[in-house]
Amino acid sequence: MAKNAMDMKMFLEQEGAGVAPANGAPVNGAPIGGILESAGLDMEAEKRALLEMGIEEEPKNLGFSYITLRTLGVNPQAAFKIVNADRKRIEMSLLNPPPAIGKINNKTVEPKSFYSPEEVDKLTQKDLADAGILEDVMKSMTQWKSS
């Protein structure tokens, strides 16, 4: 049995296995079940251990993460909980994607309610064609001090 992650990596490279999909499909010609057995794990014992916990899933269907955890000495129950939590996290991220990130410098301009004489001088005809701006300019004019 592999003692650490580096041993597991070397073992899998020797076996010609890449990252295994979660469905137990062959990877580089090696089925996950074969990888489990080559790693020193008994498929039937793994299945029994899972059944004792009330888990009816085949060990080979739990994917590469389960194999890695088991070969590193993590007990079947803990390995299943880790793999299952990861599955749930992925499902949740697919069902509830994060909100879209807006544009950088996407500044929202607060509508002005007061315009100084200098600001009014800078307004274009298009700006003054906006009824809201024109109304605010007219109100602003009543507050200007006469010079």
Query: pTM of the full predicted structure?
Result: 0.42
Q: How far is CA 76 from CA 6, 21, 32, 61, in A?
A: 21, 19, 16, 14
Q: How far apart are CA 22 and CA 28, in angstroms?
A: 15
Rounded to a whole number of angstroms, the CA Rg of the chain reads 33
Residue range 93-136, pLDDT digits in tens = 888 877 877 777 666 666 778 999 999 999 999 988 988 889 99
Residue range 64-86, pLDDT digits in tens = 888 888 888 888 888 888 888 88
* pLDDT in the model for residue 16: 43
For residues 66 and 83, the answer to whether their CB atoms sit within 8 Å is yes
Residue type, 12: L
Q: How far apart are CA 3 and CA 26, in angstroms?
A: 24
62: DSSP letter: G
Residue 118: Cβ within 10 Å count: 7
Q: At 26, is the pLDDT very low, low, confident or very high (cuts 50, 70, 90)?
A: very low
- Domains of the chain, by residue range, sit at 5-95, 111-147
